[in-house]
Amino acid sequence: MSSEQVIDRLKNALGDKLKGTFAQTALRIYAEADPADIVEVTRVIHNDLGARFVIASGMEMETDFEVLYHFAFENMPPPCPLVTVRVHLDHEKPLVDSITSGVPAAAWIEREMHELLGIEFKNHPNMKPLLLAEDWPKDVHPLRRGRPWEGKVDRKI
């Protein structure tokens, strides 16, 4: 399926909820969504349109946090584009709904984003640390800007 066909399908299924869809290249489609709508958008893309959830990325920018969800339309004839849906979150208190109700595979990546970046996910079924050691302080998020772990963790075991 070409990227135009995929964009048409997305617009038909989601209408207003998906803003600013454009195809950067033939295989990469980008779109934006509101944090309030993201559960519905990802559920439609994953369950109704049949795309595979690849991964999610979290980033701290200068003024806000961004979370990107990547889906691959693989059950279609080639070329199969990768669709990325972006949400912008508040810089002081990054909070978004967890998409695990529609996409159960997102559970672990949301745990990772929570412990490394401090993004809160509402209604997550199992919010436990995934990668950091057991004795790591819970309020220090290493992948934030400015080396926040300096002075807060012991460098010897």
When the beta carbons of 55 and 132 are compared against another protein, the nearer one is 132
Tokens 């401090």 label which residue? 118
- Least Å from the CB of residue 145 to another protein: 13
Q: Which two tokens stand for residue 45?
A: 């893309």
Contact residues for another protein, defined by CB under 8 A: 132-133, 135-136, 142, 147, 149, 153, 155-157
Cα distances from 100 to residues 49, 76, 126, in angstroms, run 17, 24, 10
Query: Would residue 74 be called left, alpha or beta, if left means φ above 0 and alpha means ψ between -120 and 50 degrees?
Result: alpha
Q: Which is nearer to another protein, 16 or 128 (CB)?
A: 128
Nearest approach, Cβ of residue 136 and another protein (Å): 7
Smallest separation, CB 68 to another protein (Å): 23
Q: Which is nearer to another protein, 35 or 129 (CB)?
A: 129
Longest CA–CA span in the chain (Å) reads 56
Taking the complex as a whole, how short is the minimal distance between the CB of residue 113 and another protein, in angstroms?
16
d(CA 106, CA 87): 15
